[in-house]
Each structure stands twice: as structure tokens, then as C-alpha cells.
Structure 1
């Protein structure tokens, strides 16, 4: 899976960042000025216009496109929990255009980033302190259930952090526990974004990211272990099929 970046790819990535960072800064500042006046629904729609721009700009500058398979599997009649693999920065941008509205489970440090993090904090994220594992789980279940009751979907990366393409990582049970607690379905989602935008990589590789949305896993009268096994089992199988993990 290792590819050698070329000078042309470095130039394309540089063009992407020349547009991405200034636009993000200006737009985040604008959102901070007006976002507090808006209810959550309109605020989410406004703030995530930046995500649509990012996908467009990435395709234009770096040739990274995407396709979604199974979009029809996203529940329309209730909130739900999404569990997805995490290998890139791409999915953190894209998923806010697919799962709407949403509350993302993320690390607390992100909210300290000037302008971007401050604006992100206005989208009701569940910001966890990963150094406090017991407290983080309690926070996830408490705040996550509250978001679901508000009709806000919760997006979780159960690997806990970005995992290098080629590796599977360990999937925690937080998503299954939250779904069982809130009695909402779990939607597993797999992608191969790490092949095109590797984690912490400056260079992006042209191609089409595949996003697969699985059938929602029911939680009624089922244990956390059963929910976790069904959702993560599907996710791991798709990752192997997309060849984003080594056999």
C-alpha cells in the first residue's frame, strides 16, 4: 500500500492547503459571529457548508472523489449511532455532509484550536478527555443519550484514533453501549479514505473514495456484545474487502 509521492502531488496538495486553510479561518470566524443566534438545526447547516466546499476543493486540486454505497440504509424515522473506521482526516470532513444532523465524538483537544475548534464546539460535539477512560465512557453515554433524544445522530470512531491503513486496530464497545442505552439502531459505515488521504499525510492521491453504509443493526432485546459483534463484524469484513487492512 506504500506509494511514493511525486513533486506533482506535492504541488497539488499545496494548492489545496493554500485554499483550504484561509477559507476555513475566515468561515469559522463568520460562524462564531452569527452561530450563537441560530437554533442547532440551522446552525449545523450553516457551519457544514465548509465541509461541502472542502470536498469540492479536494476534488478540484487533488483529484480525490467519492462514491457512497448504501445511502438508503440510513434510518429516516429516528436518530441513530454511526460507527465508522478512522484512517484519515477525510472522513471527519465528509461525514458531516452525509450524517445530518450529527454530534461527533472527538478528542477534547480539538476544541482548543483557534476559530476552527471554537466553531466546532458550537455543534454539540461529545468532546472526551481520553486520559480519563471511565469518565470518558460515562460522558459518552450521558451526553450521547441526550443528543439522541434531541434527534441528533451520534458519530463514533470506535478505534479511538486514526489507524494506519493496513492495520485493523481495536474497536471499543462505546457505540454499541450508547445504542443499547438509547434504544436506537447502530449504522456501521466503512470507507477506504486512507488509501487516498493517508492519516497525517501532506500528499493526497487521486482516486475515488468508497463509502459503504451497512444495514442498521437493531438493538431491541439484544445485549451490548451482540450489537457490537454484528456492527463491527460487518465493518471489519468491509475493510478487508476494500483492502484497507492486511490479511
Structure 2
């Protein structure tokens, strides 16, 4: 548990992190906007996400946040698949681009409007949903998601839809299961406890090791959406409890 005396030091360490994070992000995003459009998708993804290695290393140096991954071997070596993961922090949006390469991610459309960063992010072919249009968002997810999967690109979905505080599960939407079943590709659940060390919307970061657990791929052929959804979310929930990020 953090003591009151430790908070000023944690604040300074987090300040140092952002002092490197924002300038490097703006400069690299500008470079990506110049070079990214000239590259095919896969080398473009590799180039644009090089900065994520800096983010994770700089976080470890400044704030003492490390990472440990278990089950990496469960990620399919070839072909496309759907990944569902819990959403607690900004951390997973950075690290998962290193864990699953390449990928397309489902995100909120507002992120693409951020100058430089959002414009560069748009080059990674995300599925940017308007969350105010729920029915239209599901149709967009299924149509664009299927197109990405047919291109052989794995798709990352946060079924909670938004960041959920540590200790809470929230509602897990079925969009990932629907897409995986309709496209007949495996679904892979991934759990983490990043919110313990980088709480959502928190300036201060806390030292420790983020645990990431990759579950076995769940085949979808011949199964219903409910069967796939229940199997994947049950694994996700149990893994979160083992990691101490769910009451």
C-alpha cells in the first residue's frame, strides 16, 4: 500500500514519464504521417508501433512498472483470430500492440481526432466506432471486422467497451464472439491487471509487475455465439480473479 510520504516521489516519477512520453509521441507521430502512407499495412504497422517499445521501457525506467506474460504460446502462429481483453488502463492499449503483431483494434472514434497522434493511429486501420449509435456500431464492427480478418489481420476487442475500474467486471458485450463465429476464426481471451499499477485516467503510476495471461484459443466452428461468448468470458473472469484485479 502506498504511504502518504511516497506519493510525492511517485508523482515526480510519473511526471518524468510524461516529460518523455508526450514530446517523443508528437515527433514520432509526425514522422509516421510522412512515411506511413507510403508503406503496405504490415510494414506500416511494424514501423508505427516501434514507439511502443519506448513507451514500455520508459515506463519501467521511470515508474518501475514491469510486465510478465504467461501463455504467449496460445496466440495462433498463422491465420487471423479475435482477441478479447479486459480494459482497465491506458497501459494495455500500448503493450498489446507489441503482443499481437500486426493487429487491428476496435476503439472509439474520438481518438482519431487527436492531432498528430490520432491521425497516425488512423493509419493502422482501426475500427473506429461511434458509441452513441449502438446498432450502427455493431453492424460496423461485424462488417469491417470481417474484412480485417479476411485480410489475415487479428482483431483486438475490449468487450467492456470502456475502461472499468479494478475490482469491477462490467458488462461484456458479445460483439467479439459474434464476429469470431460469423468469420469462423478462433477467439483468444487475454487478461491483465494493469489497473493496479496504472489506474485508468490516473496521472500517478505505481511500481510493480503487470501480469498478462493469454488463454487457449477457442475454436468457433459449429458453436453458437452464446457458447463462444460464455467460454471466453468465463476464462477471462477467472483469470482476472487470479490476478487480483476482480473482486
Q: Normalization by structure 2: what TM-score?
A: 0.98
CA distance in 2, matches of 1:60, 1:182: 41
Corresponding residue for residue 225 of structure 1: 226
After superposition, what is the alpha-carbon deviation per residue over 1:73-122, rounded to whole angstroms, capped at 9, x for unaligned?
A: 00012110000000000000000000011000000000000000000001
- What secondary structure does 1:83 align onto? strand
CA distance in 2, matches of 1:77, 1:197: 32
CA RMSD of aligned residues (A): 1.1
After superposition, what is the alpha-carbon deviation per residue over 1:156-196, rounded to whole angstroms, capped at 9, x for unaligned?
A: 00000000111111100000000011110000000000000
**Deviation beyond 3 Å, 4+ runs, structure 1:** 1-5
Corresponding residue for residue 88 of structure 2: 87
- What secondary structure does 2:221 align onto? coil
CA distance in 1, matches of 2:97, 2:45: 9
CA distance in 1, matches of 2:214, 2:64: 23
Deviates more, 1:105-114 or 1:2-11: 2-11
Corresponding residue for residue 37 of structure 1: 38
CA distance in 2, matches of 1:125, 1:194: 23
User: What does 1:87-166 align with in structure 2 at a 5 Å threshold?
Assistant: 87-166=88-167
CA distance in 1, matches of 2:84, 2:3: 28
Deviation at 1:137, TM superposition (A): 0.2
CA distance in 1, matches of 2:239, 2:218: 15
Deviation at 1:25, TM superposition (A): 0.2
CA distance in 2, matches of 1:146, 1:47: 21
CA distance in 1, matches of 2:12, 2:133: 41
CA distance in 1, matches of 2:50, 2:101: 12
- What secondary structure does 1:110 align onto? helix
User: What does 1:168-187 align with in structure 2 at a 5 Å threshold?
Assistant: 168-187=169-188
Structure 1 residues without counterparts, runs of 5 or longer: none
Cα distance change on mapping 1:196 and 1:109 into 2, 3 Å: same
Deviation at 1:245, TM superposition (A): 1.3
User: What does 1:184-223 align with in structure 2 at a 5 Å threshold?
Assistant: 184-223=185-224
After superposition, what is the alpha-carbon deviation per residue over 1:43-78, rounded to whole angstroms, capped at 9, x for unaligned?
A: 000000011110000000000000100000000121
Q: Normalization by structure 1: what TM-score?
A: 0.98
CA distance in 2, matches of 1:181, 1:100: 23
Cα distance change on mapping 1:110 and 1:158 into 2, 3 Å: same
Structure 2 residues without counterparts, runs of 5 or longer: none
